[in-house]
Amino acid sequence: MNSLFTPEPATPTRPHRLWLKNPLAVFTANELDAGGGVVVSGGVIAEVVGTGKAPAAPCDEVFDAGRHVLTPGLINTHHHFYQTLTRAWAPVADAELFPWLKTLYPVWARLTPRDLELATTAALAELLLSGCTTAADHHYLFPRGLEDAIDIQVQVVRQLGMRATLTRGSMSLGEDDGGLPPQSTVQDPEVILADSERLVSAYHERGDDAVIQIALAPCSPFSVTREVMMESAALAEKLDVRLHTHLAETLDEEDFCKEMFGLRTVDYLESVGWLTPRTWLGHGIHFDDAEIARLGAAGTAIAHCPTSNMRLASGTARILELEAAGSPVGLGVDGSASNDASNMIQEARQALYLQRLRYGASAVSCERALGWATRGSARVLGRESLGEIAPGRQADLAMFTLDELRFSGSHDPVAALLLCGADRADRVMVGGVWRVVDGQIPGLDLGGLIADHSQAARKLVQG
């Protein structure tokens, strides 16, 4: 695996008690007063300390957080790690979704195991440095030689010490059968389902402290047959794992569903057994009022991807109405060829501004946008132990400083994270272990990663 990563002895908080004392400000994603900081022990938040107070029991270590804005670890609900190799590629820089995909599919079909390892490392490192502690990836490309793609991703996640929901994506509807992807990128249903079951058996963890979880994720209505959608839903119920797909991202997709299946997207979703609380959808832009009500009643969740939606001119999701109807809503950076970054704190800023254009400034506060990136995203992934600062929650935390010029003159530290454009965390903790220290990932040769990743990217697009 990745020779660029040399594990250093982590700085665990177990079994002693660590007090992150008197932060500059705290966003808890709930109503708790944490002005005095938090106490971490055994990988979880043992105590939330009120303003002006001290912990109820003695602590073994104290970290002075007076320069830091403390938040729950940010959670990314939709990504395509492999796409970091095709960022800002000129032939698709100004394309919308369908032509963008048609141009990129042949390039992505050349991915090698080493390409994927580098791409995944780059994506996760960038996420981690932005304050992200949990990431969901939608990998649906398995060309010849890349059959073990998810296995590769598991190893990279473990090296970096993050949490991840890795989805076994699939494409089975190629160009020869009326789909969008080239035949070289599609797989037989039997292969897809057998590998899905293998991956769940090998890697899926349960419980509050789960590090790796597996979900089943046929790519989209324009790249997967009805049969694969239905059989994936049945297998997910049998194995008790979640379901993920793209839906209602563009009007082209709506037209495709009508032509191919004779149904609108939500009707199609229900017809294949996916209108359930087990499902979360990437994008979810083009729903009418009745469809929003049905999604909310079913508890089907939405991964809102504002930057990608603007980049590809796909539209603006109706997030407040989806939330009001009952759909959990979180944020996703989407693939790094349609964003083109893997930065969760920036994604929260984009969500704030895009949704204010639809609903007005007073309806979308800075705290609400941060809530989508934390507690909301945790709900989308079914990870209720994450996304909040509260006793008993996992000690996944991000800490930002406001020492740069961009923050000079700011008054509200929490609002400043979004309004002044924070882009990098100073410290990040996952399960009580520091994974970012002083803005760096211990053990990662970042310069070497950039060099190797950039070289692989140039080689991939050159063919």
Give how far Cα 362 sits from Cα of 299, 322, 350, Å.
Answer: 26, 18, 16
Confidence of residue 10 (pLDDT cuts 50, 70, 90): low
Q: What mean pLDDT is reported for the chain?
A: 95
Q: What is the DSSP string of 62-75?
A: EEE-TTEEEEEPEE
Per-residue pLDDT, 181: 86
Query: Position 4: which residue type?
Result: L
The least confident of 23-27, 174-178, 392-396 is 174-178
User: What does the alpha-carbon distance between residue 17 and residue 8 come to, in Å, rounded to a whole number?
Assistant: 22
Reported as a single tens digit per residue, the pLDDT across 277-286 is 999 999 999 9
Place of tokens 């949704």: 355
Fold for the domain defined by 74-380: TIM Barrel (3.20.20)
Per-residue pLDDT, 384: 96
The least confident of 42-56, 65-79, 167-181, 393-407 is 167-181
Per-residue pLDDT, 63: 98
User: What does the alpha-carbon distance between residue 1 and residue 410 come to, in Å, rounded to a whole number?
Assistant: 44
The least confident of 86-90, 260-264, 408-412 is 260-264
Per-residue pLDDT, 5: 77
What SS3 state is found at 79?
coil
Per-residue pLDDT, 312: 95
Whether 331 contacts 317, CB under 8 Å: no
Q: Does the predicted TM-score (pTM) go above 0.95?
A: yes
Reported as a single tens digit per residue, the pLDDT across 140-191 is 999 999 999 999 999 999 999 999 999 999 999 888 888 888 888 899 999 9
Nearest CA among 352, 356, 355 for reference residue 367 = 352
Whether 232 contacts 193, CB under 8 Å: yes
The least confident of 125-129, 193-197, 251-255, 458-462 is 251-255
Whether 60 contacts 17, CB under 8 Å: yes
Alpha helix ranges (H) inside 316-376: 319-325, 344-359, 366-371
What are the tokens at 18?
Answer: 């660590």
The answer on pLDDT for 13 being more than 80 is no
- Express as a percent the part of the chain with pLDDT over 90: 91
Domain boundaries, the chain: 74-380
User: What does the alpha-carbon distance between residue 29 and residue 195 come to, in Å, rounded to a whole number?
Assistant: 37
Per-residue pLDDT, 3: 67
Q: What is the dihedral of CA 40, 41, 42, 46, to 10 degrees?
A: -80
The answer on pLDDT for 7 being more than 70 is no
The answer on pLDDT for 394 being more than 50 is yes
Per-residue pLDDT, 9: 58
User: What does the alpha-carbon distance between residue 273 and residue 250 come to, in Å, rounded to a whole number?
Assistant: 22
Cα first-last separation, the chain:
24
Per-residue pLDDT, 2: 57
